[in-house]
Amino acid sequence: MSAADTSNGQQSQSELELLRARVAALEAELVEVQARTNAAIGQWQERAYWLDRLHLDLNRLMERPGANELRLALRAVRIVFWRIRAIKRRLLGS
C-alpha cells in the first residue's frame, strides 16, 4: 500500500467519522424536536379535553349558519355588561 493510498484511506475514514457524527447530531436534534412537539400536542390535548369529551369540533360548529352571528351577539352583550359594570364601579367607587 502506498503512502498516498494510506493518506486517502485516513481521509475517507475521517470523512466517515465526520458524517457519522453529523448523522448522530441530526438524530439527536430530531429526537429533541419530536419531544418538544409531543409535549406541545400533549398540552393542547390537555386543554381540549372537554371539547373532545363533548364531541365538539368548534371549527365545524362555527361554520354552521348563525353561529358567528350568535358569537357576535354574545360579544355585544358581554361588552354592554362590562360597560354597565364599569359605570357601576365608577359611580359606587368600588
Query: C-beta of 14: minimal distance to another protein in Å?
Result: 16
Nearest CB to another protein, comparing residues 33 and 86: 33
CA distance linking residue 37 with residue 27, whole number of Å: 15
Q: Which of 14, 18, 34, 79 binds another protein (CB under 8 A)?
A: 34
Q: Which residues contact 68 (CB under 8 A, 6 or more apart)?
A: 62
Q: Are 62 and 71 in contact (CB under 8 A)?
A: yes
64's grid cell: 354552521
Nearest CB to another protein, comparing residues 18 and 51: 51
Binding to another protein in span 44-63, by CB under 8 A = 45-46, 48-49, 51-53, 55
Nearest CB to another protein, comparing residues 39 and 87: 39
Which one of 1-9, 23-31, 74-82, 84-92 is the stretch in contact with another protein (CB under 8 A)? 23-31
44's grid cell: 393542547
CA distance linking residue 36 with residue 40, whole number of Å: 6
